[in-house]
Structure 1
Amino acid sequence: MNADMFAGNKGVCGAPLKACEATVTIIFLTSTTPADPRENVSPNFMNKISMWIIVIPIVVGVFILLAIVAFVIINQCKKPLPDPKLKAIKVEDRASAASSNETKPAEAASKLTFVSDDDGDKFDLQDLLNGSAEILGSGCFGSSYRTSLPDGTAMVVKRYKQMNSVGKEDFQEHMRRIGRLRHNNVLTLVAYYYRKDEKLFVCDFVHNCSLAVHLHAHQTLGQPGLDWPTRLKIVKGVAKGLAYLHKELPSLIAPHSHLKSSNVLLNESFEPLLTDYALIPVINAESAHELMVAYKSPEYVQHGRVTKKTDVWSLGVLILEIMTGKFPSNFFLKGKGNDEEDIVTWVKSKLGDDDRETLLTNLEVFDREMGAIGVGDGKTMKQLLKIGLSCCEDDVQKRIDLKDAVGRIEGLKLRNMSNDGEFFSAIASDCEEDIKW
């Protein structure tokens, strides 16, 4: 047989054709031993287990991270945050120091100037800015903040923006003059901070609020009204402090120039402390004329001038406010001469010129928050009212001068005090002739 006989059969091999290729046969054997139980588990089930093994640690980690973040945020919220306005001072300070061409270090730009050698460098501006700040109020010229030093001492920072028209040397000289003032009824300036567009005054914190709060907002604070002995004590202290300012600052026409109940602070024993005094030399003229008490006086409203007796007029208005409990808003908000009846006119209408006026009419003048009074004290109270009216004379020539006013106030004494310190009721004695003031 030759190879031609097998032509066309592609799968035939071997002699006489070409040799066949080697082949491998694979034989699968089935084991008779039991299979591993895990081999029967569904692949989907195994995938789920693998997924949870990966997911669970991730979820736990996320929860731990969130818990840490929440803890940090809560702790930060519990800490008192510094007032943003005070913080802004530090930010602006650094910016101005960075942009300055001066070779002084940046710290020099934020240095406090202490006005007395007695105070020394007890703290710096950063100590004030880093402490938690509580806003005490916003007045005519700026805001006041209470802040704490690292040792816990409470200080007040007053921020003024209406002082940018006075030169640095003149400002510093005036601050040195103020820094020398020392009196029990004048709040001492501790330090100041100078920058062209704003100034900071630093003083000790007085814990008992202002006279205005005790006269007009004590019920909101849940406090009793001021009694008569306390009011007389306050008037005497204010008069002493004002006399001291006039003695020590004779070059100023009106050494205080901004005397009002909100600028009289009271310490724990209700001793008054005058504040915001001697500002006219450093306050911008347009702001002073618009906002300061001195420029609400009759002589300025009528004749455009401030005199040595302008502070006396402010003292008189304050006395009437203390004794009547009425806030003299028409003076301080609008100036004299408006349609609203002012406190001076109102007191005159109630008091009259006849010393034998009835008891009822006189009692209408006084603030009932003073409580019961005795016969002798009723007379003293009326004497104080008359001193206040003498201080409020529209005609400066007829107005009492400060020395006489202080002398007459100092001469007033408490009367009718019983051994236990209680006052006798004037109402029970309204039939007595002596009580007809």
Structure 2
Amino acid sequence: MPEFSHCGAPLKACEATVTIIFPTSTTPADPRENVSPNFMNKISMWIIVIPIVVGVFILLAIVAFVIINQCKKPLPDPKLKAIKVEDRASAASSNETKPAEAAPKLTFVSDDNGDKFDLQDLLNGSAEILGSGCFGSSYRTSLPDGTAMVVKRYKQMNGIGKEDFHEHVRRIGRLRHNNVLTLVAYYYRKDEKLFVCDFVHNCSLAVHLHAHQTLGQPGLDWPTRLKIVKGVAKGLAYLHKELPSLIAPHGHLKSSNVLLNESFEPLLTDYALIPVINAESARELMVAYKSPEYVQHSRVTKKTDVWSLGVLILEIMTGKFPSNFFLKGKGNDEEDIVTWVKSKLGADDRETLLTNLEVFDREMGAIGVGDGKTMKQLLKIGLSCCKDDVQKRIYLKEAVGRIEGLKLRNMSNDGEFFSAIASDCEVDIKW
């Protein structure tokens, strides 16, 4: 088939003569006369539709841009994985008439650090988790100038109103004592509570008593332990003096809540929390609610902190961790530390004492001649603080006075531990 056969039969040859016909009028013909009405209608329709379609696309593009920018969240900085504070305050609606709140701010309770840093400085620093306890987690972070701070994030503080919380925490922030860790600042939101304090480089008493070998550190010697007990007693007495309205001004005294500075001076932390901790969580977790008076009679007294001090003294002197007390309060199948010490010192006679000196932690090392008597006196004070009967338990003032009266002797030359204790067995250890 020829290539153009679909166009019809071949054209005939042109005639030799061409006749030209001139129009009778010189006016050009209107081209619209040769355009069909349907074609004109289509042109008119597209003239109307195209601007509408373009306008819709532009509108959709604008809406999409706004939505994407409102919903887009920055990828989390690895530095902030440990501590996350959502700034809901700054997401105020543009329709609100009241001024939008600024970024979340810390409330400083210590004039020494006021306005030197803000919350964002803490969050921008690389965070290192120090531990996770009953009420939350603690993180070490660094300020832009390199200063190390600790941020404590509490999970169990949702049952107190804003004004009551502010009032109580500001009261805590006014405390100043060499054996009490000072609160620097705090952050409040209904579902987020942060406490900020200075970082203490020498870890907690619990670490030095129970984990020093893992860290390759020596055990605490006897002079250091006596120094720690005296500092704890002074700090506890200060809390009771400055917070008389609280039944248990500390309420959560244990070895992990005693920090040690470079010179092994103790600093009490996590104190005065009972008023701001959810009641149910406090009863379940706080040391005060493991005391004999609460276990037996469901009450906390002014002597509850004394019981905690006594348990801490026994822990320091024996090196045993009183985990059963803190886990269940009533103890479990394992003998509690108070009962264990009493069983080791259950007789008055010299012979029984000599055969039960393993009650003391041997890692205290060499002691001075005469220090054996002092050690047993301190053990006796600890037992007096731990009496189950509150009426027979000594008062904090008496306990502190007796502890402060203990003196160190000269170090022995031979480095013997038990020989020095045995030489002083005449001390009365009745409780």
Give the TM-score band, short-chain normalised. 0.7 to 0.9
* Kept after mapping to 2: 8 A contact 1:267/1:273: yes
Structure 1 residues 240 and 97: alpha-carbon distance in aligned structure 2, compared to 1, 3 A threshold: farther
Distance in 1 (alpha carbons) for counterparts of 2:14 and 2:110: 120
State how far apart, in whole Å, the 1-side matches of 2:113 and 2:268 are: 20
- Could you tell me which runs of 5 or more consecutive residues in structure 1 were left unpaired when the two chains were aligned: 1-12
**CA separation in 2, counterparts of 1:363 and 1:58?**
97
Alpha-carbon distance in 1 for matches of 2:10, 2:336: 144
Q: SS where residue 355 of structure 2 aligns? A: helix
How far 1:109 sits from its partner (Å)?
4.6
SS of the residue 1:107 aligns to: coil
Equivalents in 2 of 1:273, 1:375: separation in Å? 30
Contact 2:345 2:353 in 1 (8 A): no
Aligned equivalent of 1:57: 51
Please give the alpha-carbon distance, in whole angstroms, between the structure 1 residues aligned to 2:28 and 2:414. 109
Give the superposition deviation at 1:212: 0.1
- Cα contact 1:155–1:203 (8 A) shared by 2: yes
1:28/1:338 CA distance change after superposition, 3 Å: farther
Say whether the 8 Å CA contact 1:145–1:156 is kept in structure 2: yes
Change (3 A) 1:389 1:47: farther
Query: 2: CA distance between counterparts of 1:78 and 1:363?
Result: 68
Farther off after superposition, 412-421 or 197-206: 412-421
| Contact 1:294–1:314 (8 Å) recurs in 2 | yes
Shift in alpha-carbon separation, 1:28–1:365, aligned structure 2, 3 A: farther
Q: 1:206 to 1:107 in 2, by over 3 A?
A: farther
Would you say 1:241 and 2:235 are equivalent positions?
yes
- Change in Cα spacing, 1:355 to 1:237, as seen in structure 2 (3 Å) is farther
Contact 1:97 1:109 in 2 (8 A): no
Quote the offset at 1:334 in angstroms.
Answer: 1.2
Q: Secondary structure at the match of 1:56?
A: helix
> How far does residue 68 in structure 1 lie from its aligned partner after superposition?
35
Q: 1:306 to 1:96 in 2, by over 3 A?
A: farther
Aligned residues: 425
Q: Deviations over 1:237-262 (max 9, x none)?
A: 00000000000000000000000000
- Kept in 2: contact 1:215–1:225 (CA 8 A): yes
Q: Distance in 2 between matches of 1:184 and 1:16?
A: 117
Note closer, same or farther for the CA distance 1:134–1:107 as it changes in structure 2 (3 Å cut). farther
Structure 1 consecutive aligned stretches of length 4 or more whose deviation exceeds 4 Å? 13-91, 99-107, 418-425, 427-437
Greater mean alpha carbon deviation, residues 200-209 or residues 80-89: 80-89
Q: Is the 8 A contact 1:80 1:132 kept in 2?
A: no
Larger radius of gyration: 1
* Per-residue deviation, 1:362: 3.7
Q: Deviation per CA, 1:106-165: give whole Å up to 9, x if none.
A: 663510000133432110000000000000000000000000000000000000011111
Cα shift readout 1:82-101 (whole Å, capped 9, x = no counterpart): 98695586562147644698
Q: 1:24 to 1:124 in 2, by over 3 A?
A: farther
Once structures 1 and 2 are overlaid, which stretch shifts more, 424-433 or 386-395? 424-433
SS in structure 2 at match of 1:383: helix
Runs (5+) with no aligned partner, structure 2: 1-6
Structure 1 residues 255 and 73: alpha-carbon distance in aligned structure 2, compared to 1, 3 A threshold? same
1:364 aligns with 2:358: yes
> 2-side partners of 1:372 and 1:69: how far apart?
79
Distance 2:215 2:53 in 1: 52
- CA 1:216–1:77: 2 relative to 1, 3 Å: farther
SS class of match (2:428)? helix
Residue pair 2:142, 2:148 contacting (<8 A) in 1 also? yes
CA contact (8 A) 1:188 1:203 kept: yes
Aligned partners of 2:154 and 2:193 also within 8 Å: yes
**Percent identity between the two aligned chains:** 96
User: Using the alignment, how far apart are the partners of 1:229 and 1:68 within structure 2?
Assistant: 74
Could you give the per-residue CA deviations for residues 169-212 of structure 1, whole angstroms, max 9, x where no partner exists?
A: 00000011001100000000000000101200000000000000
Deviates most, 43-52 or 304-313: 43-52
Q: Greater CA deviation, 52-61 or 18-27?
A: 52-61
Q: Quick one: structure 1 residues 114 and 427, their matched pair in 2 at CA, closer, same or farther if it must change by over 3 Å?
A: closer
Task: For 1:425 and 1:139, locate their aligned partners in 2 and report how far apart those are by CA, in whole Å.
Answer: 40
- Contact 2:251–2:274 (CA under 8 A) maintained in structure 1: yes
Q: CA deviation at 1:79?
A: 22
The alignment's C-alpha RMSD in Å is 11.8
User: Residue 344 and residue 14 in structure 1: after superposition, are their counterparts in 2 closer, same or farther (change >3 A)?
Assistant: closer
* TM-aligned CA distance change 1:435 to 1:261, over 3 Å: closer
CA contact (8 A) 1:289 1:295 kept: yes
Change (3 A) 1:157 1:52: farther
Pair 61,277 (structure 1): closer, same or farther in 2 beyond 3 Å: farther
Give yes or no for contact 1:257–1:278 (8 Å, CA) kept in 2. Answer: yes
CA spacing shift, 1:75–1:23, aligned 2, 3 Å:
same
- After TM superposition, the structure 1 stretch with the greater mean CA deviation from structure 2, 287-296 or 30-39, is 30-39
Which region of structure 1 is more displaced relative to structure 2, 106-115 or 400-409? 106-115
**Would you say the 8 A contact 1:186–1:273 is kept in 2?**
yes
Counterparts in 2 of 1:323 and 1:430: CA distance versus 1, 3 Å: closer
Shift of 1:415: 1.2
Shift of 1:32: 69
C-alpha distance in structure 1 between counterparts of 2:229 and 2:409, whole Å: 17
CA contact (8 A) 2:149 2:197 kept: yes
Superposed displacement of residue 351, structure 1 = 1.2
CA contact (8 A) 1:416 1:424 kept: no
